[in-house]
Amino acid sequence: MNILAFDTSTEYLSLALLKGDETFRYDCNAGQTHSQIILPQIQTLLDSAYLQLSDLQGIAFGAGPGSFTGVRIAAGVAQGLGFGANLPVVSVCTLLALAEASGSDKVIACLDARMGEVYHAAYEKTNDAWQCIIEPGLYKPDAVPAIEGINWVGAGSGWQTYAEQLSTAYAAQLQSTQPQLLPGATAILQLALSKFAKGEAKPASEAMPLYIRNRVALKTAEREQGLRL
């Protein structure tokens, strides 16, 4: 199976291309240039694998939550490429991608949501399948949901920005943290494969971002404080 996966929900651009049993990858700190470089880099990745877009069987993308602009870019590119090449599309939650990337079976995924908040979810893997223990939500880092059990791994940028608050919230329940971990395209690709196999892919027109936070703009006073969505 040939599948293209990508994520632009953070400052990083992450691409992964599966060609049969071989995976081609590209990752870089794109800052705010995702929209300018994603299509040329996808073409470069396809060229390196000697593939055309028409050789793919599907597209997977990180739907969010994450940067408002970033998740819109990912959804838009998935729609455009999928529609143009008549390819089915799979959307993957970035918090679940963090869990997959962690290499652990019990994960509290937290992404820095700016404005003093985190995108948060908890997952546990049983029989090689992820179960959602706490649904994705938006919280103040000192008001995240309680969770049962021990040996949880904290993953994602929220654990870097709000290490003290989150570690206090979960205290002895934590086994370790991976604050540098990103919801990369390789993890999105792995999660998408099972969705394609189960027939859960959708038409490109249904590739939609997952925002969680409904605000799309800052107030003037918030911008003056240097806050970002």
Q: What percent of the chain has pLDDT over 70?
A: 93
Q: Looking at the structure, tell me whether residues 24 and 47 fall in a common domain.
A: yes
Does a structural domain hold residue 7? yes
Q: Looking at the structure, tell me whether residues 101 and 65 fall in a common domain.
A: no
Does a structural domain hold residue 229? no
Q: Looking at the structure, tell me whether residues 25 and 78 fall in a common domain.
A: yes
Residue 49 maps to which CATH number? 3.30.420.40
Q: Looking at the structure, tell me whether residues 149 and 173 fall in a common domain.
A: yes
Domain boundary (178, 193, 209) is at 178
Q: Looking at the structure, tell me whether residues 89 and 156 fall in a common domain.
A: no
Q: Looking at the structure, tell me whether residues 68 and 36 fall in a common domain.
A: yes
* Predicted confidence (pLDDT) per residue in 48-64, tens digit: 999 999 999 999 999 99
For residues 59 and 3, is the Cβ–Cβ distance under 8 A?
yes
Does a structural domain hold residue 195? yes
Residue 206 DSSP class: G
Cis peptide before 65 (omega within 30 of 0): yes
Q: Looking at the structure, tell me whether residues 79 and 135 fall in a common domain.
A: no
Q: Are strands 106-112 and 118-126 parallel, antiparallel or unpaired?
A: antiparallel
Number of domains in the chain: 2
* Predicted confidence (pLDDT) per residue in 188-198, tens digit: 999 999 999 99
Reply yes or no on whether the pLDDT at 111 is more than 70: yes
64-82 average pLDDT score = 97
Q: Looking at the structure, tell me whether residues 210 and 129 fall in a common domain.
A: no
At residue 131, the pLDDT reads 98
Q: Looking at the structure, tell me whether residues 90 and 195 fall in a common domain.
A: yes
10 Å Cβ neighbour count for 9?
31
Nearest to 5 by CA among 201, 130, 192: 192
Does a structural domain hold residue 149? yes
Q: Looking at the structure, tell me whether residues 51 and 66 fall in a common domain.
A: yes
- The pTM of the full predicted model, rounded to 2 decimals, is 0.92
Question: ∠ at Cα 67 (66, 71), nearest 5°?
Answer: 80
Q: How far apart are the first and last CA of the chain?
A: 37
CA atoms of 94 and 7, how far apart (whole Å): 8
Range of the domain at 48: 2-94+183-224
Does a structural domain hold residue 27? yes
Q: Looking at the structure, tell me whether residues 87 and 196 fall in a common domain.
A: yes
Q: Looking at the structure, tell me whether residues 215 and 190 fall in a common domain.
A: yes
